[in-house]
Structure 1
Amino acid sequence: MFIYRTTLIAAAVAALAACSQQSDKPEAAASEPTAAAASGGELVVKIGSANPLTGPFAHWGRDSDNGVKLAAEEANAEKIQLDGKTARFEVVSEDDQADPKVATQVAQRFVDGQVAGVIGHLTSGASIPASRIYSEAGIPMVAASVTSPKFTQQGYKNTFRIIANDLQQGQALAKFAVGNLKVKRIAIIDDRTTYGQGLADDFAKAVETAGGTVVKREYTSNSATDFMAILTSIKGEKPELIFYGGMDAQAGPMVKQMKKIGLTVPFMGADGVNTAEFVKLGGKDAEGTYASSAGASKAAMPGFASFNDKFKKAFNADIQAYAPYTYDATRVLIDAMKRAGSATPAKYLPELAKTQFEGVTGPIAFDEKGDIKNGSVTLYQLKNGQWAEVGAPAPAAASAAQ
């Protein structure tokens, strides 16, 4: 969650036309070459940042986009030399609305605008179709929140992720539900997105493996607000826990409606639920919810404290979720360029695959698929309005999990 992860209803063509490109350097033209020499002998290196910047997941998208911008700003202060010139990294921010169709249009604009690399997209549903376009163009793509296992199973050599996948999250959550919470009868709801359905499927398989039983499977959409019929149907099966594969925008109202019909069993989700927005939407009815994050807890991140201070100073905002990961993803991309001495994708892509980087979120290295090695999952429970860590399963290689 991020929320990969989720897919919004396709926007109308007229709305797409009204969507304006955003950049931390607005004066740059979209058609400017990737490494165009600017005045003073600078080399302009454009980095694409793709996120939902409008709609119900905009709080995730802006947070992620800000992580990219902070990394680029710091890199610019370092006066990095590429291709014999001082590089100036320029972030080109695009709104993909977490929609697959819009995401492919964004990807094509990035290709046409000759970006040197892409950080994103936020969701799996947007990232997977966009990744084909980047692969065909030979543009490296580093994902910071894409958790669908399918993302790195496509065989593309230019796609990487710096976070654990949903197979690992589903297994950790199921093991905790059956082993720690001692529940056997579990109902599952998902939002039918690439993220939500894939996560729910992985969780369901892991529940059966752990010795539990899925007593009911239901689905909704990522734009729904009324879950009463689904929850009433589930209540009749007498579940001991309800798992939701989806995002905070639906999970918040869902827990309120659970309490309204007297369904008081524990509620569980993954990184799409583990947000401050869920706490706000669910209110007191969200208390006790369990959720995971596809990565280390903030307390376990070696560079979080310093990064948090810089982030608040730069944007006057709290970190929502993935800003530390998009920051690291951007630094990993730039580090590969530094080692190659070039911003040309074909030249620095081999270095990206060989990454050994100590980031804010921890050590980053990739396996042969482009998955982060030793990806971790952390479990939380909502207590007194705050997400409190309740467990961190031992790291497992993403490639082994898949």
Structure 2
Amino acid sequence: MTMHGQPRAARALVPLALAATAALILSGCAGGLGGQDTGGGDSADGPIKLGMLAPFSGSESAFGVYMENGGQLAVDEINAAGGIDGRELELITEDDACDATASVAAANKLVTQGIVASVGGYCSGATLPTLPIFNDAGIPMVIPAANSNKLVDAGLDTVFLINGTGTQQAAATLKYALKSGATKVAVLNDNTDYSKDLATSFVNQATEDGTLEIVLDQSVTPGEKDYSANVNNVMNANPDFVVWTGYYQEGALITRQLIDAGYTGPILVGDGSVDKKFAEIAGPGYTDTVVGTFTQTPDMLEGAGDWIASYTEAFGADPGPYSTQSYDAVRVMAEAISNAGSTETDAVVAALRELDGFPIFSGPLTFTEEGTLSEGGFAIVQIGPDGTFVLKDDLQS
């Protein structure tokens, strides 16, 4: 369902983003890619290989499929328009299982396969250990989903994020809590890098603002079935607003147990919990007070109907979370390679930094000095009748 109420800039950008794929190919590059020795394992006459790490196994595997499909759709469109200076793109995916050990092995495998750039990264905890691997190999990264501030704090010139950072997501959480009239907030995280980072950022911003009282700030043990001890701590703290920054499996169970214990206030979840499975796990009647922070998905954007139709026709399924970000990650990297006229690391990194208003789904893209979005683009979503998250508040007013 197409949602209404987005800012005009977001609505206008969708058709521009779709048109830009073909435009980048037609623009051409001085010197071109066809006859140069680029080094770094890249064959001057073969396909330009982009690597994507994503979870294709484990509890987050649905997101890996969305990401792969979104990235492949961009690759297919670019290749159909002639590639980059006559060279086709090739997307090579590997499973990181949202696990740090698995991601290191998968990243090394991508390096040996001769990728020239990385366009993956979902779980921050799995993405962080891959940063030095890709950086040492001279492989620039455009990360579509992972957004822990630790990715930025690593300080690598080759790393760029096109999802809003944890700081930006925490700011959206605070804005909505204040807008909702909250006074006392309990904060729970699942002890992963992403979740702890988001929770800490929210608590710090709320403390600095001074309007809200943080009555509980606690980590839970992921993978448990019974969170009664944590739920009791929340109930004893007597909050009127609960923030959960972890993933949907634990978040859904905690939500159900909180409501069974008598909690009736809002429960705001981070983007790691924004998935239809949240409602499936929580069960009927347990999601009426649940909202989340998320960047807008295709069904929330006016003008995205053609893109959704193309995705559905190509893959026989509807697009899901991070399909658009992965689509845009490929487009952004392709634009940089095209503008650089090279796959050489420094040239591509310089071209990424020079992007000015490049149209992507979340708005005109210009990277900050830290390689992040100028604006996070987070909105508030709620769970609809079929269990999917739909737009509730774009936070523009």
TM range (shorter): 0.7 to 0.9
Contact 1:50 1:65 (C-alpha < 8 Å) held by counterparts = no
Match for residue 73 of structure 1? 76
Contact 1:302 1:361 (C-alpha < 8 Å) held by counterparts = no
Q: How far apart are the structure 1 equivalents of 2:84 and 2:233? A: 62
Match for residue 95 of structure 2? 95
Match for residue 60 of structure 2? 57
Secondary structure of the 2:368 match is coil
Structure 1 segment 25-174 matched on structure 2, within 5 A: 34-36=41-43, 43-82=46-85, 86-174=86-174
Contact 2:134 2:140 (C-alpha < 8 Å) held by counterparts = yes
Match for residue 393 of structure 2? 391
Taking CA–CA contacts closer than 8 Å with sequence separation of 6 or more, which of the two structures ends up with the larger relative contact order?
2
- Going from structure 1 to structure 2, the CA distance change for 1:317 and 1:221 (only over 3 Å counts) comes to farther
Secondary structure of the 2:321 match is coil
Structure 1 segment 343-362 matched on structure 2, within 5 A: 343-356=343-356, 357-362=358-363
Q: CA deviation at 1:323?
A: 0.5
CA RMSD of aligned residues (A): 2.1
Q: Please, what TM-score do these two structures have when normalized by structure 2?
A: 0.83
- Going from structure 1 to structure 2, the CA distance change for 1:302 and 1:261 (only over 3 Å counts) comes to closer
- Going from structure 1 to structure 2, the CA distance change for 1:389 and 1:153 (only over 3 Å counts) comes to same
- 1:184 and 2:187 equivalent? no
Name the amino acid aligned to 1:36: S
Give the fraction of aligned pairs with identical amino acids, expressed as a percent. Answer: 25
Render the CA deviation track for 1:323-363: whole Å, top value 9, x for unaligned. Answer: 10110010111111112223333432321221232123432
Match for residue 291 of structure 2? 290
- Going from structure 1 to structure 2, the CA distance change for 1:317 and 1:297 (only over 3 Å counts) comes to closer
- Going from structure 1 to structure 2, the CA distance change for 1:297 and 1:311 (only over 3 Å counts) comes to closer
**Matched residues, number:** 354
Render the CA deviation track for 1:360-394: whole Å, top value 9, x for unaligned. Answer: 34322211111122332111233544534332335
Q: CA deviation at 1:320?
A: 2.0
Contact 1:301 1:362 (C-alpha < 8 Å) held by counterparts = no
Secondary structure of the 1:36 match is coil
Q: CA deviation at 1:317?
A: 1.6
Match for residue 222 of structure 1? 222
Q: CA deviation at 1:261?
A: 2.3
Q: How far apart are the structure 1 equivalents of 2:56 and 2:388? A: 26
Range that drifts further, 123-132 or 348-357 = 348-357
- Going from structure 1 to structure 2, the CA distance change for 1:153 and 1:104 (only over 3 Å counts) comes to same
Contact 1:51 1:120 (C-alpha < 8 Å) held by counterparts = yes
Secondary structure of the 2:160 match is strand
Render the CA deviation track for 1:288-326: whole Å, top value 9, x for unaligned. Answer: 202111x34546647632221111111112222101011
Structure 1 segment 204-243 matched on structure 2, within 5 A: 204-208=203-207, 209-243=209-243
Q: Which runs of 5+ in 2 are unaligned?
A: 1-39
Match for residue 203 of structure 1? 202
Match for residue 22 of structure 2? none
Name the amino acid aligned to 1:381: Q
Name the amino acid aligned to 1:175: K
Range that drifts further, 62-71 or 48-57 = 62-71
Q: Which runs of 5+ in 1 are unaligned?
A: 1-32, 396-402
Contact 1:307 1:360 (C-alpha < 8 Å) held by counterparts = no
Q: How far apart are the structure 1 equivalents of 2:77 and 2:41? A: 19
Secondary structure of the 1:278 match is helix
Contact 1:34 1:45 (C-alpha < 8 Å) held by counterparts = no
Q: Please, what TM-score do these two structures have when normalized by structure 1?
A: 0.82
Contact 2:231 2:258 (C-alpha < 8 Å) held by counterparts = yes
Secondary structure of the 2:47 match is strand
Q: CA deviation at 1:116?
A: 1.0
Q: How far apart are the structure 1 equivalents of 2:266 and 2:146? A: 26
Contact 1:175 1:210 (C-alpha < 8 Å) held by counterparts = no
- Going from structure 1 to structure 2, the CA distance change for 1:388 and 1:121 (only over 3 Å counts) comes to closer
Contact 1:170 1:200 (C-alpha < 8 Å) held by counterparts = yes
Q: How far apart are the structure 2 equivalents of 1:81 and 1:186? A: 51
Q: How far apart are the structure 2 equivalents of 1:142 and 1:76? A: 20
- Going from structure 1 to structure 2, the CA distance change for 1:302 and 1:142 (only over 3 Å counts) comes to farther
Q: How far apart are the structure 1 equivalents of 2:210 and 2:383? A: 24
